[in-house]
Amino acid sequence: MSEVVSAGSDFAERTAAREVSVGVIGLGYAGLPIALTFAESGFRVTGIDLDDDRVRAVRERRSYLADVPAERYEGVGERLTATSDYAAVSGLDALIICVPTPLSKTRTPDLSYIVSAAESVAGALRQDQLVVLQSTTHPGTTEEIVLPILERNGAKVGTDFFLGYAPERVDPTNPTYTVRNTPKLVAGVTEECLRRTEQLFSGTVKVVVPVSSTIVAETAKLHENTFRAVNIALANELALMCDRLGISAWEVIDAASTKPFAFLPHYPGPGLGGDCIPVVPQFLAARLREYGYSAQLIETAQEINAQMPIYVLQKVSDALNDIGLPIKDSRFLLLGAAYKAGVSDTRESPSLEVMRQLLARGGDVRYCDPLVPELELDGVRHLSVDHSTERFQEADCVVVLTAHREFLQHPLWDQARLIVDTRNAVPDAENVRRI
């Protein structure tokens, strides 16, 4: 035990002196920001990603994420490098696994990226390394899946290597909260694992919050996103109810928001998108089914959110009927393919489902998204059109799905014959309909 404590003291000293080398496995929306933050804090960082385009971009100091400006590279000097070779693992002191955890085709958690990363790390694991899983995942993953893989060749956690969990809390495009000033939850398999995980992130994050176990940290992360998904579902259901009452859901929410306590405003939209909010609640619900428990509120919220693109389709159909047009052969301009403003991420984006439904009904559909120049939908490649007066004038209906800054700073609303606004982004006018 004294040897471990001594080694732990050395780790703390080396971390404080920025002598610990850090590896970040996965350079996507969560991995690149954490890699840059560590490098900006004075650590030597090696990003590891099997995508050669990402590796080249980091080496050439090019940004490939809308919310990570290339200027951030100016503050890292030569401290940040990247590779696609897992052999680099053996030369690093601490590893942070930031690989994606999508849903499978059956809408169950796909942990294959975590398993693959853990196996690659295990093949190059060396004495005294710290491994921290950051990927969002179901409760128990760190100790039930990652730990056995790392111990497969006889190494023992807490003695030969150290294993922790510290969930990402990235909110792309958020101007206020970044990796550095968002409190970081940390947990470890053993006390020494927790201590080292806390020491590592204390060098980059202003507030580190230790919890008692990795499963608590895993579940807390899921609860955070489930909280948002459920409350968005409530806002979406409010929109459905207000539609029948003939009043504005947005006005109702604004009125309720004047209460200074016990209310947190959430707003309706065309559905949920991204790799967290629509996906994470399923991780929790799927895990609990193994224990014979049905997460009814989560399942109901998912159903409400998943139906919003169909509700948008109905609003479009009703709006067209008011001017004597069917969906078939009408010309549509969809503003926004990304799931939220300011990002290029189309994962689970409700815009794609709205597009799919309009195409299936014979609509002549174009989309405009300055951050998504092209996309593939059901095997067909689509290119973004320009945001121009001509495009607005030639459309029978403009559907606002993502309120990108470009659309708001250079408004062309008065050029449209008909607008269906799903984001409350357009000023009131005779040609505007809202969900």
How many other CB atoms are there within 10 angstroms of residue 88's CB atom? 19
- The residue among 29, 28, 45 whose CA lies nearest residue 37 is 45
User: Which residue ranges make up each domain of the chain?
Assistant: 2-212, 258-275+305-434
Element (H, E) at 210: strand 208-210
Average pLDDT, the chain: 94
User: Tokens 């040609």 belong to which residue?
Assistant: 431
Q: Looking at residue 218, what DSSP letter applies?
A: H
pLDDT of 52 > 80? The answer is yes
Q: What is the DSSP string of 36-105?
A: HHHHHTT-EEEEE-S-HHHHHHHHTT---STTS-GGGGGGTTTSEEEES-GGGGGG-SEEEE-----B-T
Q: What are the C-alpha distances in Å from 331 to residues 391, 396, 397?
A: 10, 5, 7
What is the pLDDT, as a whole number, of residue 81? 97
Question: Taking residues 216-237, what's their average pLDDT?
Answer: 96
What is the pLDDT, as a whole number, of residue 5? 47
Q: Looking at residue 329, what DSSP letter applies?
A: T
Give the tokens for residue 201.
Answer: 């992130």
What is the pLDDT, as a whole number, of residue 1? 36
- Reported as a pLDDT band with limits 50, 70 and 90, residue 264 is very high
- The residue among 118, 120, 100, 119 whose CA lies nearest residue 110 is 100
pLDDT of 3 > 50? The answer is no
CA distance 11 to 328: 66
pLDDT of 398 > 90? The answer is yes
CATH architecture of 258-275+305-434: 3-Layer(aba) Sandwich (3.40)
Amino acid identity for residue 348 in this structure? E
Give the tokens for residue 387.
Answer: 């945001």
What is the pLDDT, as a whole number, of residue 7? 58
- The residue among 394, 402, 398, 370 whose CA lies nearest residue 383 is 370
Give the count of alpha carbons within 13 A of 165, CB side only: 29
What is the pLDDT, as a whole number, of residue 8? 59
Contacts of residue 53, defined as CB under 8 A and 6 or more positions apart, other chains included, come to 64
Q: Looking at residue 381, what DSSP letter applies?
A: E
Give the tokens for residue 374.
Answer: 């092209």
Write out the catalytic residue numbers. Answer: 276
What is the pLDDT, as a whole number, of residue 170? 82
Q: Residue 390: exposed, middle, or buried by beta-carbon count in 10 A (0-12, 13-18, 19+)?
A: exposed
- Reported as a pLDDT band with limits 50, 70 and 90, residue 155 is very high
Question: Taking residues 406-435, what's their average pLDDT?
Answer: 96
Question: Taking residues 384-388, what's their average pLDDT?
Answer: 97
Give the tokens for residue 97.
Answer: 């696994």
Same-fold call for 2-212 versus 258-275+305-434: yes
- The residue among 300, 349, 361 whose CA lies nearest residue 325 is 361
Question: Taking residues 362-368, what's their average pLDDT?
Answer: 98
Give the tokens for residue 244.
Answer: 């029948």
Cα-to-chain-centroid distance, residue 53: 20
Instruction: Quote the pTM value.
Output: 0.90
What is the pLDDT, as a whole number, of residue 139? 95
Which of 78-92, 103-117, 343-357, 385-399 shows the lowest per-residue confidence on average (mean pLDDT)? 103-117
CA distance 12 to 327: 64
pLDDT of 2 > 50? The answer is no
What's the pLDDT tens digit per position in 80-136?
999 999 999 999 999 999 999 988 777 778 899 999 999 999 999 999 999 999 999
How many other CB atoms are there within 10 angstroms of residue 191's CB atom? 11
* Termini Cα distance of the chain: 62
3-state secondary structure 346-373: CCCCHHHHHHHHHHHCCCEEEEECCCCC
CATH code: domain 2-212 is: 3.40.50.720
% residues pLDDT > 70 (the chain) = 98
Q: Please, what is the angle between helix 31-40 and helix 52-59, to 10°? A: 20
The DSSP bridge partners found for residue 81 are 46
Q: Write b or e for each residue in 258-267: b if 16 or more Cβ atoms lie within 10 A of its Cβ, otherwise e.
A: eeeeeeeebb
Question: Taking residues 19-39, what's their average pLDDT?
Answer: 96
